[in-house]
Amino acid sequence: MGMFTDRVQAGRALAETLRGRVGPDALVLGVPRGGVVVAAEVAHILGLELDVLVVRKIGAPGNPEYAVGAVDEEGHVVGGRTGFASRSYLEEAAREEREEIARRLRMFRRGRPPLSVAGREVLLVDDGIATGLTLLAALESLRRRGAARIVVATPVAASDAANRLTAAADDFVALEVPIGFAAVGQFYREFDQTSDAEVVELLS
């Protein structure tokens, strides 16, 4: 049985914890797809602007759920655990993920330009963090784009990922860092796939 009912309830709980930890002009960025549902609740409750940050994990050969790297919106590859995958595999996988990122950005933004992060406090939200590689790619992307302060927030994170992101972000907030973390979905009673249409609706 999960600790959270669903992503909406998790987002509400996360928003309460974040009160006073981010400023009134912070920009909330959700990581699609599920992270956008959590981020939308946080943005709504705290009265903050909401946008999307598309990063894609590169799955291990034969095990797509296990991240060996990640690609950001500008096409930079982060992680690259070459012990698990060859450089050529990473490059080929990254090329495919760049195409998927471009497709998602066209669909999610509907022609809207991204909200600028330069000089702003950014609250980066996901529905759960297993390895942290995707969020590290997102962090590096935001630093390159000039974000002033980055807070990573999630309902649940694996302890290794929590340690990585605590070191990398200006602040890290996880409601639960459980022992025996196998997958994000085990901590939610309802963890259905979020559709692209839901993301588009939340962003509009």
pLDDT at position 91:
87
pLDDT at position 202:
95
Residues in the chain: 204
The one-letter amino acid code at 37 reads: V
* Cα–Cα separations (whole angstroms), residue 133 to 16, 69, 80, 112, 184: 26, 6, 9, 27, 14
Better-scored residue on pLDDT, 148 or 72? 148
Side-chain half-sphere of 96: how many Cα atoms within 13 Å? 8
> Looking up tokens 């330069």, which residue turns up?
118
Pairing assessment for the beta strands 149-156 and 171-176 based on DSSP bridges: parallel
Please, which pLDDT band fits residue 60 given cuts at 50, 70 and 90?
confident
- Once rounded to an integer, what is the mean pLDDT over residues 10-16? 98
Two tokens at 157?
A: 């994170």
Q: What is the mean pLDDT of the chain?
A: 93
- Neighbour count for residue 92 (Cβ, 10 Å): 13
- Once rounded to an integer, what is the mean pLDDT over residues 107-111? 91
φ/ψ of residue 33, rounded to 5: -95, -45
Side-chain half-sphere of 48: how many Cα atoms within 13 Å? 29
> What contacts 141, CB < 8 A, 6 or more positions away?
53, 55, 72, 73, 74, 76
pLDDT of residue 183 exceeding 60, the answer is yes
- Neighbour count for residue 106 (Cβ, 10 Å): 10
pLDDT at position 65:
77
pLDDT of residue 84 exceeding 90, the answer is no
- Once rounded to an integer, what is the mean pLDDT over residues 111-120? 93
Please, which pLDDT band fits residue 82 given cuts at 50, 70 and 90?
low
pLDDT of residue 1 exceeding 70, the answer is no
- Once rounded to an integer, what is the mean pLDDT over residues 123-144? 94
Question: Which CATH number applies to 7-54+115-203?
Answer: 3.40.50.2020
